[in-house]
Structure 1
């Protein structure tokens, strides 16, 4: 009886531990683009997490990551939402420009 329990626990751990460490369990963070400001502009995430920029400003917004930092997407237009996956640790600086507002700056730190 005890050996059977040990086998069941061992098999369960062999199945559950890799699932817990896989990117399928990545979390999603959100940055909201408002007219003239960013909500949650500076965030820290874990490797494999996703960050979504949601444009709630009513205007087109152009987002660009600082070059040379291995950014996942150098530049995009945010008309609704844009989601970026961060697979490499590091600090990713970005800016968002709207036609009728100042340039907004943010940072994603990936652990």
Structure 2
């Protein structure tokens, strides 16, 4: 009986240690689009995190166009959202496809 309790305690401790030592959960972040601007305009996240852009405009559609790769989201309308998971560290500059004056930056750390 005592042996099972010890084994369970050891497994629970090992799991907690693994999570604390780098098995941390990926986070989710939001960038809001209001008055033709990304808010926040710059965001620093960790590799594996997801960013969701939310269109809070009243009548205008937007997209997210990554300058380096040319990857672009579909256009999303007021109340809609679009998400992307960032696996690789680096800097990701982006604009809005239809409104290139809108600029943003995602910095992904290891």
Q: TM-score, normalised on structure 2?
A: 0.75
d(CA) in 1 for partners of 2:86 and 2:6?
A: 38
Which sections of structure 1, spanning at least 5 residues, go unmatched? none
d(CA) in 1 for partners of 2:81 and 2:18?
A: 31
Instruction: Write out per-residue CA displacement over residues 60-111 of structure 1, whole angstroms, 9 at most, x where no aligned residue.
Output: 112200124xx8xx10122210011011111111001456xx6211100011
- Pairwise CA RMSD: 2.7
d(CA) in 2 for partners of 1:93 and 1:42?
A: 9
SS at match of 1:103: coil
As a proportion of its length, which structure holds more strand? 1
* Equivalent pairs, count: 103
Alignment of 1:53-72 (within 5 A): 53-58=53-58, 59-68=60-69
d(CA) in 1 for partners of 2:88 and 2:15?
A: 25
| Counterpart in the other structure of 2:39 | 39
Q: Which of the numbers 62, 87, 103 marks the counterpart of 2:101?
A: 103
Which sections of structure 2, spanning at least 5 residues, go unmatched? none
d(CA) in 1 for partners of 2:107 and 2:13?
A: 31
8 A contact 2:42–2:106 mirrored in 1: yes
SS at match of 2:63: strand
Q: TM-score, normalised on structure 1?
A: 0.75
Q: Does 1:75 align with 2:72?
A: yes
